[in-house]
């Protein structure tokens, strides 16, 4: 105990000196600096106060007292922050047009690690690769999408409704009951009936949690995690039921080579010629590797204003794997597999 | 083109039919083909050196042609079509004494071609669904084939009538059910007759033709996904295997245990090759990256994005990087540094007192410790 006290005293002395210096330097600033050490929460009052200059709230042994002091400390901090903000705003206003441009806040998206697979639109090789891949028949206008939607065995509750609503979003989609069939046996039948997509919604505890999207006749197959599904009924301020018109598709932010493949996979779900009369848009927005799906109806109110109305359902997808060829989880070759703790070790690295 | 192709030490064949060369010195990748005449039919399935000097590269395409690429000139010099395109793509290519070429297609036709004659010199049937054909580095006349439901066969091209060795299927399992067969890749273990194979059922088997036993002498397993590629290390006591999920492991061939895994891949492995002299292994596959790992500490040394899915890979036997070539030179530099250091040390005055002072307490302590130990 003795030793520790001595130690703290020494620390105090050195801090005192520092404090004096700061006070001298900023004689007119009322509030001394709050933070000097990042590790401990320190309570500092003006030098005349009863507390020793470096006083840590955590040293108070009475819990209630400690809580009170901590609240005070927090309040103080907040006040200072607000003051600073006000001051800056005033300065900006005073400067008027000459004010320096506002700093862009740092986010993990704009600090993204450079990805060498980012697609350059002028690259011949990638263009050729994409021009001759499995979706080329669709993008050349040779096939029309036809989608089969099914679920895991014995769907219950929300999953059934989710399937039905998906079928209203995707034109030319048919919902079938799974009847305990193996996917590998369904696929040849689908190919024989000219389906171009097989969509399987998996459920766990009556909630949809997985989506297998298999492009037919020869792949690829993507496996997604599905989360935060909100059905039409649960959406506030939603519009009337969607019409049968072909929607427009917006694909946002799919920049890497893998992202391009996934974007093409989604684009090929919808017919290529949207019927603009319907004024419906399906959006796949990629942000931080999560793909957000939204379905809207828009209206141009005048030349400047647009109104949108969500039609639902909305859900979020996260890619787990992309497999070459049709569904074959055992012997199929994977083009990309999410390896947790290896790939997402860097928070600023994104795959899509 | 000439300069470029001479620089390259790693060659890769892609699914889009582009032959790619990578120079690790300059950290550059080059495409060797006409970008206008690209087609998926020319997908490169097999690569091998045409001669021992490694100046010619044989490129086996999906449409049944074998093109010769001269690494000195940097252009395709010759294209020959062997067999029907209906036979399926090449699963193996090898050159025999410089002039002849061994080709093997998926339907199992293994043929030897000479340059002058139009028909095959020798032909043998290795059975259906062949996945890979490999030539023994020690004896060029010896090749191994294997595929789906088609066990390992070792052939002598001098006597193409009958295989030298045919592997027997594994023993039935504990439910008395037949075990399926699927050889995906194989390799000849240097300085012995043994052959190591990897299977689509995530097993690694070692066969020994010199013993009467036709079942594997060593069985090992890795992971739970099909193993697609295999490569023996230069020393021949370990094997590197890769699977469809992009997991690569180094297995020890003495007991079949995993020595370690190589990390960083995100897609299935299509080809693997260990360097002949350096402890390096190169891998490529569906994630469109060429990755070079060190076998010593298993760290990723190089990573090159090549824009197309890669099918096959070939390393030059010379050192991959110039720094490594300058190994002895580096050593010289180190020696120089040491000499300089010696000079520095020599020029310093000897301080004896301090040394003795330090030594004495230390010595005492040691003595004390010893005493303590003795007491215990």
Query: What does the pLDDT read at residue A257?
Result: 92
Give me the pLDDT at residue A157, please: 85
Q: Is residue A75 domain-shared with residue A172, that is, in the same domain?
A: no
Query: A residues 257-296 near B, CB within 8 Å?
Result: 257
Domain presence at residue A285: yes
Backbone torsions φ then ψ of B169, nearest 5 degrees: -65, 160
| Percent of chain B whose predicted confidence (pLDDT) is above 70 | 85
Contact A125 B266 (CB under 8 A): no
B311 CB-near residues (< 8 Å, 6+ apart): B13, B14, B15, B43, B44, B45, B270, B271
What average pLDDT does the segment A122-145 reach? 89
Q: How far apart are CA A222 and CA B372, in angstroms?
A: 68
* Residue from B244, B265, B303 to probe the interface with A (highest A Cβ count within 10 Å): B244
CB A269 within 8 A of CB A295: no
Residue B64: which pLDDT band, with cuts at 50, 70 and 90?
confident
Least confident among A280-284, B83-87, B125-129, B195-199: B83-87
User: Looking at the structure, do residues A191 and A314 belong to the same domain, yes or no?
Assistant: yes
Indicate the average pLDDT of chain A.
85
**Least reliable range by pLDDT among A309-313, A316-320, B73-77, B260-264:** B73-77
Contacts B286 to A, Cβ<8 Å: 324, 333-336
Q: Is B17 strand, coil or helix?
A: coil
Cα B282 to Cα B302: distance, rounded to the nearest angstrom? 9
Is A347 a domain residue? no
- A86 and A143 inside one domain: no
Q: Which helix (H) or strand (E) holds B46?
A: strand B44-49
- Find all residues with CB under 8 Å of A7, minimum gap 6, and list them: none
Q: Are residues A15 and A133 in the same domain?
A: no
Work out how many domains chain A is built from and give that number: 2
- A162 and A84 within one domain: no
Of A109-113, B25-29, B103-107, B307-311, the one with minimum mean pLDDT is B25-29
Of A81, A98, A115, which closes a domain?
A: A98
Share of chain A above pLDDT 70, in %: 85
pLDDT confidence tier of residue B1, bands split at 50, 70 and 90: low
Instruction: Please name the helix (run of DSSP H) or strand (run of DSSP E) that holds residue B260, with its range, or none.
Output: strand B258-262
Residue A210 sits in the same domain as residue A71: no
- Does the CB of B38 have a partner CB in chain A at under 8 Å? yes
- A67 is a domain residue: yes
Cβ–Cβ under 8 Å, residues B9 and B313: no
Q: Is the pLDDT of residue B338 over 70?
A: no
A231 and A176, same domain (yes or no)? yes
**Element (H or E) spanning A333, and its range?**
strand A333-337
- A170 and A77, same domain (yes or no): no
Residue A113, domain member (yes or no): no
At residue A326, does pLDDT exceed 70?
yes
Residues of B in contact with A125 (CB under 8 A): 16, 18, 31, 35, 307-308
pLDDT higher than threshold 70 for residue B275: yes
Residue A58, number of CB atoms within 10 A of its CB: 13
Could you tell me the pLDDT band of residue B323, with boundaries at 50, 70 and 90? low
Q: Is residue A136 part of a domain?
A: yes
d(Cα B288, Cα A299) in Å, to the nearest integer? 43
Q: Note the pLDDT tens digit of each residue in A235-287.
A: 999 989 999 999 999 999 999 999 999 999 999 999 999 999 999 999 999 99
Which of A98, A132, A148 is where one domain is finished?
A: A98
Same domain, A200 and A333: yes
| pLDDT tens-digit readout, A89-100 | 999 888 888 878
Q: How buried is residue B199: exposed, middle or buried, by Cβ count under 10 Å (0-12/13-18/19+)?
A: buried
pLDDT score of B365 more than 50: no
Please check whether residues A142 and A250 belong to one and the same domain.
yes
Peptide bond into A217 cis (omega under 30): yes
pLDDT of residue B244: 94
Place of tokens 């990087």: B321
- pLDDT above 60 for B329: no
* Strands A147-151 and A173-175, bridge-based pairing: parallel
Say which of B38, B266, B288 has its CB closest to residue A343: B266
Does the pLDDT at position B363 exceed 50? no
Of B226, B264, B308, the CB nearest to A331: B226
User: What are A107-125's pLDDT values in tens digits?
Assistant: 998 899 998 888 888 888 8
Instruction: Provide the domain limits for residue A258.
Output: 124-337
Contact residues, B window 332-361, toward A, CB-based 8 Å cutoff? none
Token pair recorded at residue B35? 């970008």
In order, the DSSP letters of A143-197 are: ----EEEEESSS--THHHHHHHHHHHHSTTEEE---TT--HHHHHHHHHHTT--E
Do residue A158 and residue A228 come from a single domain? Answer: yes
Can you tell me the mean pLDDT for B51-74?
Answer: 87
User: A37-65 pLDDT, tens per residue?
Assistant: 444 444 444 444 566 667 788 888 999 99
In terms of C-beta density within 10 A (0-12 exposed, 13-18 middle, 19 or more buried), how is residue A171 classed? buried
Check residues A239 and B115 and name the one with the higher pLDDT: A239
- Say yes or no: A324 contacts chain B, CB-CB below 8 A: yes
Residue at A266 is within a domain: yes
Q: What are A200-235's pLDDT values in tens digits?
A: 999 998 899 999 999 988 889 999 999 999 999 999
Q: Which of B220, B222, B231 is nearest to B280 (CA)?
A: B231
pLDDT(A29) > 50: no
Residue B326 has pLDDT above 60, yes or no: no
Predicted confidence band of residue A4 (pLDDT cuts 50, 70, 90): very low
Which of A129, A334, A339 comes nearest B244 by C-beta? A334
The per-residue pLDDT for A50 is 60
pLDDT above 90 for A1: no
pLDDT value, residue A25:
43
Residue A146 in domain: yes
Last residue of a domain, one of A98, A132, A151: A98
* d(CA B347, nearest CA chain A) in Å: 44
Domain shared by A81 and A130, yes or no: no
pLDDT, average across residues A315-344: 92
Query: Is residue A103 a part of any domain in this protein?
Result: no
What CATH number is associated with residue A197? 3.40.50.10480
Kindly state whether B226 is in contact with chain A, defined as any CB-CB distance less than 8 angstroms: yes
């Amino acid at each position: 105990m003795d030793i520790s006290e001595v130690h703290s005293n020494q620390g105090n002395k050195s801090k005192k000196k520092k404090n004096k210096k700061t006070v001298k330097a900023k004689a007119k600033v009322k509030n001394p600096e709050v933070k000097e050490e990042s590790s401990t929460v320190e309570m500092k009052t003006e030098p005349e106060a009863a507390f020793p200059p470096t006083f840590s709230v955590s040293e108070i042994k009475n819990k209630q007292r400690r809580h009170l002091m901590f609240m005070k400390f927090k309040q103080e901090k907040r006040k200072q922050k607000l003051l600073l903000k006000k001051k800056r705003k005033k300065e900006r206003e005073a400067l008027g047009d000459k004010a320096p441009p506002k700093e862009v806040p740092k986010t993990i998206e704009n600090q993204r690690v450079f990805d060498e697979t980012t697609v350059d639109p002028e690259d011949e090789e990638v263009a050729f690769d994409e021009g001759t891949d499995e979706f080329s028949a669709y993008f050349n206008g040779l096939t029309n999408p036809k989608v089969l939607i099914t679920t895991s065995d014995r769907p219950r509750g929300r999953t059934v409704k989710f399937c039905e609503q998906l079928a209203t979003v995707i034109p030319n989609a048919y919902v079938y009951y799974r009847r305990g069939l193996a996917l590998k046996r369904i696929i040849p039948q689908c190919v024989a009936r000219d389906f171009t997509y097989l969509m399987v919604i998996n459920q766990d505890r009556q909630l949809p949690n997985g989506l297998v999207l298999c492009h037919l006749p020869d792949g690829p197959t993507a496996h997604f995690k599905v989360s935060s599904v909100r059905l039409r009924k649960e959406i506030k301020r939603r519009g009337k039921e969607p019409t049968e018109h072909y929607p427009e598709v917006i694909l946002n932010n799919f920049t890497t080579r893998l992202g391009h493949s996934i974007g093409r996979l989604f684009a090929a779900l919808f017919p290529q010629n949207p019927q603009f009369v319907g004024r419906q848009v399906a959006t796949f927005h990629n942000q931080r590797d999560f793909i957000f799906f939204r379905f809207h109806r828009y209206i141009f109110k005048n030349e400047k204003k647009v109104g949108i109305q969500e039609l639902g359902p909305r859900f979020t997808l996260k890619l787990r794997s992309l497999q070459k060829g049709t569904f074959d989880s055992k012997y199929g070759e994977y083009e990309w597999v999410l390896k947790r703790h290896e790939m997402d070790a860097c928070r600023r690295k994104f795959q899509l | 083109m000439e300069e470029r192709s001479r620089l390259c030490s790693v060659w890769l064949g892609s699914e889009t039919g582009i032959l790619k060369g990578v120079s690790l010195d300059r950290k550059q990748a080059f495409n060797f083909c006409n970008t206008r005449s690209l087609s998926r039919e020319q997908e490169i399935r097999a690569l091998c050196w045409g001669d021992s000097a490694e100046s010619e590269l044989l490129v086996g395409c999906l449409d049944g042609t074998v093109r010769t690429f001269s690494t000195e000139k940097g252009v395709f010099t010759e294209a020959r079509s062997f067999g029907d395109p209906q036979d399926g793509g090449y699963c193996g290519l090898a050159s025999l004494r410089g002039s002849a070429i061994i080709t093997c297609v998926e339907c199992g036709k293994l043929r030897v071609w000479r340059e002058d004659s139009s028909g095959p010199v020798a032909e043998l049937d290795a059975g259906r669904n062949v996945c890979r054909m490999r030539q023994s580095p020690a004896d060029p006349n010896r090749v191994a084939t294997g595929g789906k439901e088609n066990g390992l066969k070792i052939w002598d091209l001098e006597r193409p009538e009958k295989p030298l060795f045919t592997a027997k299927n594994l023993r039935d399992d504990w439910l008395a059910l037949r075990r399926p067969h699927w050889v995906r890749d194989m390799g000849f273990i240097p300085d012995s007759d043994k052959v190591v194979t990897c299977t689509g059922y995530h097993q690694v088997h070692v066969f020994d033709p010199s013993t009467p036993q036709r079942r594997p002498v060593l069985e090992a397993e890795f992971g739970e996904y099909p193993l697609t590629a295999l490569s023996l290390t230069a020393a021949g006591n370990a094997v590197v295997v890769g699977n469809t999920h992009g997991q690569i492991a180094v297995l020890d061939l003495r007991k079949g245990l995993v020595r370690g895994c190589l990390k960083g891949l995100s897609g299935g492995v299509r080809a693997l090759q260990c360097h002949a002299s350096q402890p390096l292994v190169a891998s490529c596959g569906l994630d469109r990256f060429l990755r070079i790992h060190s076998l010593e500490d298993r760290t990723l040394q190089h990573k090159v994005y090549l824009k197309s899915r890669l099918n096959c890979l070939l390393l030059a036997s010379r050192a991959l990087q110039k720094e490594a070539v300058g190994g002895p030179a580096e050593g010289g530099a180190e020696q120089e540094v040491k000499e300089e250091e010696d000079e520095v040390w020599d020029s310093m005055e000897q301080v004896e007192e301090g040394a003795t002072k330090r030594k004495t307490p230390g010595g005492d302590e040691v003595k004390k410790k010893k005493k303590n130990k003795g007491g215990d």
